[in-house]
Structure 1
Amino acid sequence: MVWDEPVPISRDQARATYLAVKRTEPGGGDVPGVAKELPGQVTLYPGHVLVTMDLDTMDEMSAQVFAVARAHGMVCYDPQRDLVHNVAPLGVYEGMQLHTGDGMIVHDPDLGLVHDVLATLSPQNPFVALVNFGRHFLQVSPGYELEYKEGTLIRTTVPELAEVQRAFHEYATGGREFLDRHAWQDQAV
């Protein structure tokens, strides 16, 4: 679902908005102009656009929906993954990509999305990576094994999700404090 929000919102706020809108009747009210550009089956609600897609094409289509929403400065909520895509705040690396083991790819993800996606690590989502192609990346797998590559691949294990989220936030915002906080081992590539 896509709609306008004046400031970034939490996943809980996005979910509540989505559920409230779904309890209303489609149609009526102002229709966001973004509706014409969205792929898939579009249902209009006052101030909101619901995009229905088939599970086989969900990853590709949701990336398109998010890109269109971002271009229009709108929030996008993915009820299948229970994730909200805000327009900001972004990391410092233009073109940075967020990749997940369950098939999601987001260009220039907002920091809140990165934080929330990390909590979805599971056998169904076996990794999360922030990638700056040709430069460096940080990724994590269940068990909180972090891998960082900038020339040499190094690896460490951290004890809890909060530390993973902190390391990813630092990486996305240009910090490298996470490299000093942990004991890393070189890995032969």
Structure 2
Amino acid sequence: MSVELMVWDEPVPISRDQARATYLAVKRDSPVTGEAPDVAKELPGEVTTYPGHVLVTMDLDTMDEMSAQVFTIARAHGLVCYDPQRDLVHNVAPLGVYEGMQLHTGDGMVVHDPDLGLVHDVLATLSAQNPFVALVNFGRHFLQVSPGYELEYKEGTLIRTMVPELAEVQAAFSEYATGDRSFLTRHEWA
């Protein structure tokens, strides 16, 4: 079984719906032959070019490692990356305030310097198949959540709290990523 990612240029951040529609429209076209764009030469996996778009196909066994490489290369080139398996779009911006921050998911995705929209959308994928989401600033602090919305924050000491709704989890992650610590005073931590 194989999985795909598609990369292309967008002047502004786009939504998952826009990315999905673009991906589906491009897949209806025929691939182009000839000289591939520079980014296509750097991407791992099997690369297929379409007008203005590059499709990367990889096998399921190497998906996590290769996807991380594709996300990094796309970002370096200022390109959007759409993951149709997870229905997630990786925009170039806006980013959090911590350079080198990593997004980790329980289903194996690792993204360096994730955009805030991706962080928001990934949190909605919490499930038995994706049992946690974490934003990690190695050697400093992290925030993570598991299904049932148990938040864990560590900066020295690990503390936990339960929150009732996904929207509150998304707000806490957004605040954390942007350097705002309001989520710490809004909840009772143990």
* Same fold (TM > 0.5): yes
User: Does 1:98 pair with 2:103?
Assistant: yes
Task: For 1:40 and 1:66, locate their aligned partners in 2 and report how far apart those are by CA, in whole Å.
Answer: 13
Read off the aligned partner of 1:43 and give its amino acid letter.
T
User: Does 1:125 pair with 2:130?
Assistant: yes
Task: For 1:169 and 1:159, locate their aligned partners in 2 and report how far apart those are by CA, in whole Å.
Answer: 17
- CA drift of 1:52 comes to 0.4
Read off the aligned partner of 1:164 and give its amino acid letter.
V
Gaps of 5+ in 2: 1-5
Instruction: Flag the 1:58–1:134 CA change in 2: closer, same or farther, 3 A.
Output: same
Instruction: Flag the 1:52–1:75 CA change in 2: closer, same or farther, 3 A.
Output: same
Task: For 1:77 and 1:8, locate their aligned partners in 2 and report how far apart those are by CA, in whole Å.
Answer: 12
Equivalent of 2:164, from 155, 159, 163?
A: 159
Provide the TM-score with structure 1 as the length reference. Answer: 0.96
Equivalent of 1:134, from 129, 132, 139?
A: 139
- CA drift of 1:32 comes to 3.1
User: Does 1:32 pair with 2:27?
Assistant: no
Percent identity (aligned): 88
1:175 matched residue in structure 2: 180
User: Does 1:44 pair with 2:54?
Assistant: no
Task: For 2:135 and 2:178, locate their aligned partners in 1 and report how far apart those are by CA, in whole Å.
Answer: 11
Read off the aligned partner of 2:7 and give its amino acid letter.
V
- CA drift of 1:80 comes to 1.0
2:20 matched residue in structure 1: 15
Deviations 1:113-164 (A, max 9, x none): 0000000000000000000001000000000000000011000000000000
Equivalent of 2:65, from 51, 60, 65?
A: 60
Task: For 2:126 and 2:63, locate their aligned partners in 1 and report how far apart those are by CA, in whole Å.
Answer: 19
Task: For 1:119 and 1:30, locate their aligned partners in 2 and report how far apart those are by CA, in whole Å.
Answer: 39
User: Does 1:89 pair with 2:94?
Assistant: yes
Task: For 1:30 and 1:71, locate their aligned partners in 2 and report how far apart those are by CA, in whole Å.
Answer: 21
Task: For 1:118 and 1:11, locate their aligned partners in 2 and report how far apart those are by CA, in whole Å.
Answer: 14
Gaps of 5+ in 1: none
Task: For 2:129 and 2:135, locate their aligned partners in 1 and report how far apart those are by CA, in whole Å.
Answer: 18
After superposition, where does 1:65-76 map in structure 2 within 5 Å?
65-76=70-81
Instruction: Flag the 1:150–1:44 CA change in 2: closer, same or farther, 3 A.
Output: same
CA RMSD of aligned residues (A): 1.2
1:148 matched residue in structure 2: 153
- CA drift of 1:33 comes to 2.0
1:114 matched residue in structure 2: 119
